[in-house]
Amino acid sequence: MAVQSGVYRGVSAADRAAERRARLLEAALTVWADPEIRTTMTAICAEAGLTERYFYESFTGLDAALAAVMDGIAAEIEDISRRAADEAGTDPEARVRASVRAFVQLLLDDPRKGRVAIVQSVAVPELRQRRTQLLRHLAHQSALEAREFLGTPGRSETADETAGLLFIGGMAELVTAWLDGALQVTADDIVDAAARSLLGLYR
């Protein structure tokens, strides 16, 4: 029978579980990004229109769900930035600008992602280490990119990694001030400042 085999209305049990997990992740992003809502499992389930039973089907607890949200955003940032840089060709400045612009555009298209990954995650003690790990990973990727396209003979890998950390840390603070409204600048201003910073660090 269809029910016994795990298939219901043509959709497998695994696919239904994946769809529920996606709904919960989207709901977690919405709830976590809203400063007016306390981020709880109950609030996430209500936003997703699912019961706590299905929450535990996907996550061991609230921290695991929020960590999954952060990981997904970090992966998306890395993917779109790399693709934009590759599409820009081999010119170093064009690659930097394209990569940063893709990141900034992501924040404009969905401000929740920037607020969660860069601002809200700092307020959750259990996730601060994950945030630090993700920022350091992005810093390492920046160092690898710069080493390939902006390589300076004689400069050590340690120097590249140091510059990467300076750039990503500065970007995090810049975007935080921008998202908080403390810094009144345009997206183009952000791209220009970031490009000058990265190119200056590696040249």
| Alpha-carbon radius of gyration of the chain | 20
CA 191, 196, 202, 203: dihedral to nearest 10 degrees? 150
pLDDT of residue 31: 96
Beta-bridged to residue 11, according to DSSP, are 8
Beta-bridged to residue 12, according to DSSP, are 7
Report the CATH fold assignment for 62-202.
Tetracycline Repressor; domain 2 (1.10.357)
Q: How far is CA 174 from CA 76, 137, 158, in A?
A: 20, 18, 24
Alpha helices in the chain (DSSP H): 13-33, 41-48, 52-58, 62-88, 92-109, 111-114, 125-149, 157-180, 187-202
Handedness of CA 88, 137, 163, 172 (dihedral sign): positive
pLDDT of residue 6: 59
Weakly modelled stretches of the chain, pLDDT under 50: 1-5
CA-closest candidate to residue 159, choices 100, 195, 203: 203
∠ CA 24-116-74, rounded to 5°: 85
Q: How many CA atoms lie within 13 A of 91 on its CB side?
A: 6
- Distance from C-alpha of 21 to C-alpha of 105, rounded to nearest angstrom: 26
pLDDT of residue 9: 59
∠ CA 109-111-117, rounded to 5°: 120
- Distance from C-alpha of 115 to C-alpha of 68, rounded to nearest angstrom: 15
| Tokens encoding 199 | 């190119």
